[in-house]
């Protein structure tokens, strides 16, 4: 157990810095000047509102089956964010090592991209938004779901 604590302490700062660089200045990276976003460095959360839907991109530190220390970026859809009925749904996630190499499947050995690649953030956001648009809220209501009120 102490070995994991030591590994986490040794890698946390670099992984967190990599995450901050990855999500920094999302408007420029996504070529969207009107993107509504906030980045709370203290909580390590980037919040964006595509399609009037709150998305939180969060950082955490994790270990894979081989006990490699990785950063994890989660793309989370948040419903009812301002009340007690808050509901979260994980839409997508990626993992990255201290060199910034990105892994789309936990346990992958070979990375095909790096957090510092010019289009890495854009590609991941587009993939995540594609998955978001498959959520039920973006499908037409069925007749039985309409209310007459």
One digit per residue, pLDDT tens: the chain, 149 residues? 568 888 889 999 999 999 999 998 887 787 766 667 777 777 889 998 888 889 999 999 999 888 899 999 999 999 987 778 889 999 999 999 999 999 998 888 888 899 999 899 999 999 999 999 998 888 888 765 555 55
Question: Where would I find the H helices in 24-119?
Answer: 26-30
Q: Shortest CA distance to 121 belongs to which of 37, 8, 13?
A: 37
> What are the tokens at 40?
């709370």
Q: b/e for 24-40, b at 16 or more Cβ within 10 A?
A: eebeebbeeeeeebebe
Tokens (6 digits) for 45: 């959360």
Dihedral sign computed on CA atoms, order 57, 124, 21, 102: positive
- What is the domain partition of the chain in residue ranges? 2-16+35-138
User: Which residues pair with residue 93 across a beta bridge?
Assistant: 74
Residue 31 has a pLDDT of: 72
Strand partners, 39: 46
């Amino acid at each position: 157990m102490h070995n994991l604590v030591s590994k986490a302490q040794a890698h946390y700062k670099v992984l967190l810095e990599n995450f901050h660089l990855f999500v920094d200045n999302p408007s420029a990276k996504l070529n969207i000047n009107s993107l509504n976003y906030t980045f709370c460095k203290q909580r390590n959360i980037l919040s964006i509102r595509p399609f009037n839907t709150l998305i939180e991109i969060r950082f955490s530190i994790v270990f894979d089956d081989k006990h490699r220390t990785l950063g994890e970026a989660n793309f989370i859809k948040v419903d009812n964010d301002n009340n007690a009925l808050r509901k979260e749904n994980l839409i997508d996630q990626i993992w990255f090592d201290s060199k910034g190499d990105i892994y789309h499947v936990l346990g992958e050995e070979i990375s095909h991209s790096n957090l510092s690649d010019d289009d890495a953030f854009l590609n991941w956001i587009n993939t995540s938004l594609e998955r978001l648009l498959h959520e039920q809220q973006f499908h037409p209501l069925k007749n039985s779901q309409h209310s007459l009120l």
